[in-house]
Structure 1
């Protein structure tokens, strides 16, 4: 025979203990949030039945945005693409290599060596641009707010755009890297 008594938890006792406390307010808040989400899901289901074409368009749009966000490239993938492009062009004779591709890769390498390459992700796409000074450099020109570059000229600083897992500019420049014309 066991001497441990089993306690029966009565819901009414629990309700009395938490009445007027922050726990009661917290439980009320989460119950109302769940009720709101349930109403939204039921409303969406009814609207999808009434307008199936609109529902398909919205689902397709959100799916595309999700794919864009999932495949958004980063700086590491840009550097990998750059290195792969350098390897590809190094296998071709300099007399046969496309000068546009060669000059673009040399420019990027100089910018990487000077720590001028910057990356910004916007969730759905990414931008790579060249800054005017290194982030490691703390001279007057790099710290003075009046000498920094202006945003109206930012489009000239952009080196590449990453979208759907592809760096588009470097891919375009390397398209005919082995044809000199």
Structure 2
């Protein structure tokens, strides 16, 4: 009975606190609360049942939430630009949190990049991309590839020891690497579903930079051609399929005259032979 009396007193005190807060609210809100007969009964009589006190408290709480939602809608209507900016910010935060990659995502990306490099010969693949992927795979085999999720982004860093190592040096918190050394240990950053360092290293993984070190600087540039250069190459390619035009020689009439003279000489020779 004592516990029941204590619970009843707590609920009634909560109802009185809600009624006092409602009294300090604006007039329109007080008029809505004043229309409740149950709240008038709580203010007039302490002997009401705990169930009624709980109902009054829940009703006042719902009224507060309804008033807060109404004020939020009115504020958004009065300041649309600020509301749009806040909405876009919240949507961006939610999208970053939802697309934050995990440890399994990094291991899958590392395996895929390793397979891509394995399809190329050692003379073709990029030395920088191959070295980065091989170092990550070596740390993964040693169990020293750490992962930390920060909510909006993820970090992959190099750990000192394996996660299951039971040595004193690995378990003592005083001998652990300080947090200020973490930027130097970060190997990759995961954000919006991508691992940015790994993707940047694999951008030109099928180009071996060592083959072009002996070339001049202007020939080492692998930038894509511009629009004018592409149009010029296409024009030259179309012209290469056209038939070759043969020009007539200028001494054509002279050759024809020589041919007529030779025919006349042959006719005179034939006439002399007939006479003889």
TM-score by length of 1: 0.83
Residue 159 of structure 1: how far off its partner (Å): 1.0
Matched residue, 1:80: 108
Matched residue, 1:92: 120
Cα distance, 1:30–1:166 mapped onto 2, change above 3 Å: farther
Matched residue, 1:151: 179
Matched residue, 1:132: 160
**Helix, strand or coil for the counterpart of 1:72?**
coil
Write the mapping of 1:1-181 to structure 2, written as runs, cut at 5 A: 19-21=48-50, 23-24=51-52, 26-181=54-209
Comparing 72-81 and 35-44, the one that deviates more: 35-44
Q: Counterparts of 2:73 and 2:135 in 1: how far apart (Å)?
A: 54
Q: Which runs of 5+ in 1 are unaligned?
A: 1-11, 13-18
Residue 26 of structure 1: how far off its partner (Å): 4.7
Greater relative contact order: 1 or 2 (C-alpha under 8 angstroms, separation 6 or more)?
Answer: 1
Cα distance, 1:83–1:44 mapped onto 2, change above 3 Å: same
TM-score by length of 2: 0.56
Root mean square deviation of aligned Cα = 1.7
Per-residue CA deviations over 1:90-134 (Å, capped at 9, x if unaligned) read 111111111111111111111111111121111111111111001
Select the structure that is richer in helix.
Answer: 2
Residue 31 of structure 1: how far off its partner (Å): 3.0
Q: Counterparts of 2:112 and 2:167 in 1: how far apart (Å)?
A: 34
Cα distance, 1:25–1:160 mapped onto 2, change above 3 Å: farther
**Helix, strand or coil for the counterpart of 1:35?**
helix
